[in-house]
């Protein structure tokens, strides 16, 4: 394991990130597409580890705190 993932509570999967940001599909499921859109817009940073994407919780908190909506 790598040091950046030492404290796993700081890291969220894509689905967990969608839930954390309250991004849901019309069916009520976490919207992975909404998270990918935020990544492509450069609004959040993702890290890839063992083929999966992870997002740092404190960076998501900053996005929430600085968002206009």
Model confidence pLDDT, tens digit, residues 24-64 = 999 999 999 999 999 999 999 999 988 999 999 999 999 89
Q: 62 in helix, strand or coil?
A: helix
pTM for this entry? 0.83
User: Measured between alpha carbons, how far is 21 from 14 in angstroms, rounded to an integer?
Assistant: 11
pLDDT recorded at residue 11: 93
- Confidence (pLDDT) at 65: 92
Complete DSSP assignment for 1-52: --GGGSSGGGEE-HHHHHHHTT-B-TTSSB-HHHHHHHHHTTSS--EEETTE
pLDDT-based confidence at residue 1 (cuts at 50, 70, 90)? very low
- Asked whether 52 and 35 are in contact (CB, 8 A), the reply is no
């Amino acid at each position: 394991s790598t040091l950046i993932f030492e404290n796993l509570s700081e890291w969220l999967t894509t689905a967990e990130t969608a839930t954390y940001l309250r991004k849901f599909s019309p069916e009520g499921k976490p919207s992975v597409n909404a998270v990918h859109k935020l990544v492509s817009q450069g609004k959040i940073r993702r890290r890839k580890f063992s083929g999966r994407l992870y997002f740092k919780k404190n960076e998501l908190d900053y996005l929430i705190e600085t968002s206009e909506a």
